[in-house]
Amino acid sequence: MTQTHLRVFLVAPRGFCAGVQMAIDCLEQTVSGSPNPIYAYHRIVHNNVVVESFQRRGVVFVDDIASVPEGATVVLSAHGVAPKVYERAGKNKLQVVDATCPLVTKVHQEARQFAAAGFSVVLLGHRGHDEVVGIEGEAPGCIQTIASCDEIDRLHIPDPDRVAVLTQTTLSVDDSRVMLAELKTRFPNLRVPPKEDICYATQNRQEALRSVLEDCQLALILGSGSSSNAQRLRELATRLGVASHLIEGSEQIDLRWFTRVHSMALTAGASVPEGHVEEVLSWLALHFDLQVDHKVVKTELVNFIRPAIRARSFSPTLDAGCPA
């Protein structure tokens, strides 16, 4: 039986970004160098397979820093944490490996600076996401998070001339642009960071996928449901009229998706190992006469230095300077 021809646009950049790679390397190095149990505060990255691989090696993932035994070593996830987490770690004499992505740390610093200067801070992001929770914790009461333009009217802004905006690093470029434009209309003196907050990896992966969608009837996005940047890739394809599915592996692929599909896009969120992409390509090659076209939009050369293990001192939350 002749196999159906399928053209696959394999887009790049895809998969691990520098922040994810650094976080995984941190945990890997910490586990390999210690005979004692290692703890991780939150999932080191939002990828189920990566997390499960570390669990099999004895890493204990916790969502409450207070549950880490006194004096133990804990690795903080790439998404960043609120100052109160550092405070509790210090009280418990924990040895901390801070694997926060430096680009997330940048947003934390901006939050502190704007709040200390008396600005109302509007954070564009998804409430409850680990990264957003960490940023909000830098200045409780000063930061208000919105996920759409519909929520702008609900903002409590004491002084419309002193408003600043920050962005979750993994947000949709299109969504953030729309919200930012609306905020600038409402608040003409809106302060923005000197360099945008959406990270290079999120922008590059969205740009790469966008570049091929016009020629595709289907897009497969590799990533876990908890991954913000992977979800944004799926939403991008759907918004541009291309059927899209977020999968963690080939076992979740449904052949019915390929009805009347002649060409498709394949990419991966920033927390996905390249081996997962190769596994999906192998599955596709078993079912179709496959033609793989590599679409490289940019080459990423960013690397972050792994942090050292150290005891973290107490860094108090900001409760002064916020507008009344």
Active site residues: 131
Q: Which amino acid is at 36?
A: N
**Local structure of residue 31 (DSSP, 8 states):** H
* DSSP, residue by residue, 1-21: -PPPEEEEEEEES-S--HHHH
Q: How far apart are CA 234 and CA 267, in angstroms?
A: 10
Structure tokens belonging to residue 15: 């998969």
Cα angle 188, 192, 194 (rounded to 5 degrees) comes to 135
Please enumerate in sequence order all residues whose Cβ is within 8 A of that of 136, keeping only pairs 6 or more positions apart, or say none.
82, 123, 143, 145
CA distances from 10 to 6, 24, 143 (A): 12, 24, 39
Give the CA dihedral 74, 80, 81, 87, nearest 10 degrees: 60
183 HSE (CA, 13 A, CB side): 32
